[in-house]
Amino acid sequence: MASQFGVRAGTGRCHQFWKAFEECMDTTTTGTECRLIREDYIECLHHKKEFARAAQVEAARELKASGGGDDHGHGH
C-alpha cells in the first residue's frame, strides 16, 4: 500500500494510483475489473514497463549505429 506521504513531504507519487485502485476494489465484488488500475499502481512503484521500453529503444539505437538496422531507404 502506498503511503499518503512523500519522501520530502506532500503526497507520495503513487498515492493517487493507490486511491483509484482502492476505490475500484471497494465498488466491485470480484476485483477483476480493477486489473488495469492495479497495473498502473505497480508501474508507478517499480517502473518495469518504462525500463523495458527504454532498453528496447537503446538496443534499437545501438543496432542502427552499428549498421545492422535497415531503414528501408527512408534516411531518417
Predicted TM-score of the model (pTM): 0.68
- For the chain, the domains span 15-65
**pLDDT recorded at residue 70:** 61
CA 30 – CA 11 distance, rounded (Å):
29
**pLDDT recorded at residue 11:** 84
50's CB contacts (< 8 A; 6+ apart) are 43
**pLDDT recorded at residue 7:** 67
**Mean per-residue pLDDT pooled into runs of 10, the chain (76 residues):** 64 92 94 94 95 95 84 58
